[in-house]
Structures are given as C-alpha cells and as structure tokens.
Amino acid sequence: MAKTGVVLMNMGGPDSLDAVQPFLYNLFSDHNIIRIPRPVQKPVAWLISQIRAKKTQDYYKLMGGKSPQKEQTLEQAKALQEELGEDYKVVVAMRYWHPFTEEAVEELLKEGVERIILLPLYPHYSKTTTGSSFQEFDRIYREKGLTIPVERINSYHDHPLFIKAWTEKIKQELGDNYADYYFLFSAHSLPQKVIQEGDPYQKQVEETVRLIMEHFPGVKHSLAYQSKVSPVKWLEPFTDEEIVRLGREGIKKLSVIPVSFVSEHSETLYELDKMYKELAEESGIEDYKRIGTLRTNRYFIQALKELVLKA
C-alpha cells in the first residue's frame, strides 16, 4: 500500500456543456479570483455565471463540447505514477470542477497514506491559483480533522528540467529554423493589485522566460498576458495587443508559447488557436505557430518526479 499521497492540483474545466454554468459559478465564487465583498460574492457569482454561460458554451462547442484538461491531467498523473512507483499514490484535485479536492482526499484516505505532498500544476506561484488550491485543501483537511503530515511545493518556475522541457518542445515544433520566428510568450494575466500586494507570479514568469531564452541566443522575444476577466487593471501588455504591435512592425513569422500552461484548455484552444490566430492573420503575420503545452513531456514529468522526491 502506498505510503505517500501526491495531489496534482489544477484549475479544472467543464466536462460537458451543461457543466459550463456551474463551473463558472465555482470560479467566480472564489474570493482569490474575483474580489467581490464576501456577503454578496455567491449571489453575484451566480449572476455572472448565468450571463456568461451561453457565450462560454459557444467557445466549448468549438473545442468539442468540453475542456480536455481533466483527461490530460489524468494522463500526467498516470505518467508520474509510473515514474514514482508503488510507494506513492498520485491523485488529481481540480479546484472548480470534478474531480474536486475533496474527492482526491477521500481517495488518499482509502489508500491509507501516511504523508501527503501537494503538487500544483501551476509552475508559477500565485495566491489566485496555487494559493487558492492550498486553501481549499486546508479547508477539507480541517473539516475531516486530519493529522497526516503535509508537504507543499509552491513553484518550480526555474527548475532545470521544466526549462529543458520547454526548450525541447519549442525546438521540436519549430524545427531547425526556429531562429526565423519571433517568440511571443503568453501567460495568464492577473490583476495588477495582486502583484502590488507581493504576489511573486510576474517575477517568476519573467524568470522562466529569461531561462528559456538562454537556449535561444539572438532570437527576438517578448512576454504578454491573456485572459483578463474583470474590469480592474490587469498585467500588461495583453497578448492580443502585442500581436497587433508585432504585425504592425513587420513580423511575419510568429511563435506563441503558452509559458504558464501545462495542459490545454480554453485559453490555448480557443483564445490562442482561434481568436489570436485570426488576429495575427489580420495583422499581416503570415506564419503563426502556437507551441503545444507540456502535458506528458518526458522532461516535465521528470521535473515533477524530482519535486516529489525532494519534498
């Protein structure tokens, strides 16, 4: 029987069109994501989710009717399980849709684990992502009155194997002519206020980009942010505005690298592959290549294994 439980934590996504509205409700109910006064957060979250559900369903219809994140995260869990062996039990805990954190904890309790390692699939720490997932775990841990020792892996934005995974992925997909492309790194944006309060996310993303680019000397690049969801000021420049700027400056070959994502979902499959690709074409960019997420890349899984073994 496994002695150590490993909880792979991710955001999750709707697994059907009917799940879109409740998924959005769970997302907007999280005070770490949207800072609505707590007494009215849930009613406002319900209202926002009702308003946005129809449009969001249209996105998911173009993606096959659901998010692929659950299946891809389960594939990552399987790959990591094979690397770690029988002394470990790897489970998946999604923050906003099944399998929820409570389901993952129940699975580990049935296994009788003596220790738990929390391993977010967010390479860069933010209290809006990793912090929120940890909070949800802590809530369940307290409710169940658990006393099992818990280790937390906060981030791995500069892990050599994480950097190697991206380096290999880029070279693999662009081939020997990678230097012909302008590299546009795209990360999920955050409210500027979160960064001003000391969140390390932006600095960690910038460090990841710097380390990756050490392997591509002379290649022009920039970093932008996508997926703003509220009217407050968010991290800039925005990815769509950066694409327009690059087109205006005469860039013809553009490679977009989703540096903060390790699996596919609406931000990559809809925003990057459809909206921004069309925008690039309209902006005069002739060759638009979006690099795939790391998923079960061998170096990425090895990085996760090292993180667990060192926890």
Q: What is the pLDDT along the chain (311 residues), one digit of tens a residue?
A: 779 999 999 999 999 999 999 988 888 888 887 777 888 889 988 998 999 889 999 989 989 999 999 999 999 999 999 999 999 999 999 999 999 999 999 999 999 999 999 999 999 999 999 999 999 999 999 999 999 999 999 999 999 999 999 999 999 999 999 999 999 999 999 999 999 999 999 999 999 999 999 999 999 999 999 998 877 899 999 999 999 999 999 999 999 999 999 999 999 999 999 999 999 999 999 999 999 999 999 999 999 999 999 99
Structural domains of the chain, ranges and CATH numbers in brackets: 17-62 (no CATH), 160-290 (3.40.50.1400)
- Classify 29 as helix, strand or coil: coil
- pTM here is 0.95
Are residues 105 and 36 in contact, defined by beta-carbon separation less than 8 angstroms?
no
Residue burial 96-124, b: 16+ Cβ < 10 Å; e: rest: bbebbbeebbebbeebebebbbbbbbbbb
The structure tokens listed for 212 are 């990756």
* Alpha-helical runs (H) found in the chain: 20-28, 38-62, 69-84, 101-111, 130-143, 160-174, 192-196, 201-213, 239-248, 266, 276-282, 298-310
User: Quick count: other Cβ atoms within 10 Å of Cβ 145?
Assistant: 6
Pairing between β-strand 88-94 and β-strand 115-120 as defined by DSSP bridges: unpaired
CA Rg value for the chain: 20
